[in-house]
Amino acid sequence: GAVVSQHPSWVICKSGTSVKIECRSLDFQATTMFWYRQFPKQSLMLMATSNEGSKATYEQGVEKDKFLINHASLTLSTLTVTSAHPEDSSFYICSAVTGQGPYEQYFGPGTRLTVT
């Protein structure tokens, strides 16, 4: 149980275009989802916390108008990278938490974004 999927697994887009990444909890309801980005050989950087039915909470330094997050249901959150630039190329990972302990975050497989 506790499976999280992400789609797409990888995407290449041109500079200036927008890309949407979906994160789904397949067999549980996720009241909270987290979006991370990770550069090679580095740690995970939390971008935002997404709660179902409410606006996302962005971490300091993350542009909310550039990284649009929508958590429309208890099983789906989306991250849209708007007007993508090459520096947005990264590994984007979502995670979800259930209402049960021990506070484990279940991670999606990640989306590798390359902006050309």
- The footprint of other proteins (CB under 8 A) covers 32, 34, 41-46, 49, 51, 57, 93, 95, 97, 102-110
Q: What distance in Å separates the CA atoms of residue 78 and residue 22, rounded to the nearest whole number? A: 5
CB 74 → other proteins: shortest distance, Å? 15
Q: What distance in Å separates the CA atoms of residue 85 and residue 65, rounded to the nearest whole number? A: 14
Would you say 45 or 74 has its CB closer to other proteins?
45
Would you say 19 or 33 has its CB closer to other proteins?
33
Do 96 and 30 form a contact (C-beta atoms < 8 A)? Answer: yes
CB 13 → other proteins: shortest distance, Å? 20
CB 108 → other proteins: shortest distance, Å? 6
DSSP one-letter code for 100: S
Q: What distance in Å separates the CA atoms of residue 5 and residue 109, rounded to the nearest whole number? A: 6
Would you say 7 or 82 has its CB closer to other proteins?
7
